[in-house]
Amino acid sequence: MADLATVAKQFTDFYYNTFDSNRPALASLYRPESMMTWENNQILGVSSIVEKLVTLPFEKVLHKVETCDAQPSNPAVGSIIVLVTGLLRVDDGEQPLPFTQTFQLIPDAGTYYVYNDLFRLNLGG
């Protein structure tokens, strides 16, 4: 089995670089059964997830990952849970926004796809 921390870092590097530069290209990471929870809104399936991502109310975004933790999720299938914390800057804003995102990655033909994706801004209050 590949080192979980290495897989998690490679995945998150790819995910956030793609998110920041070409959100429609994230479609390849999801499947029809994939589910995303974005700030309390549940979204099911590739097309609905990508629609949500490309219609977010900002033009430019830059993610800075601060922590990335990984654990085996189901050893029988080799799935991985990845927890990311970081900061994101939107539309050249001066204040970066803290966020947390959790992915459940499922192996598929030598790579992984996102089965679950939970995103939350950590704005407090």
pLDDT, one tens digit for every residue, the chain (125 residues): 458 999 999 999 999 999 999 999 999 999 999 999 999 999 999 999 999 999 998 889 999 999 999 999 988 899 999 999 999 999 988 899 999 999 999 999 989 999 999 999 998 75
Geometric angle at alpha carbon 113, from 90 and 19, rounded to 5°: 15
What CATH fold (topology level) applies to the domain 4-121? Nuclear Transport Factor 2; Chain: A, (3.10.450)
Whole-structure pTM over 0.95, yes or no? Answer: no
What does the alpha-carbon distance between residue 89 and residue 75 come to, in Å, rounded to a whole number? 36
78 is written with which tokens?
């080799």
Report the 10 Å Cβ neighbour count for 13. 12
In contact, 34 and 114? CB cutoff 8 Å: yes
Q: What does the alpha-carbon distance between residue 85 and residue 20 come to, in Å, rounded to a whole number?
A: 16
* Longest Cα separation, the chain: 45
Sign of the torsion formed by the C-alpha atoms of 8, 9, 10 and 14: positive
Which ranges in the chain belong to alpha helices (H)?
A: 4-21, 46-54
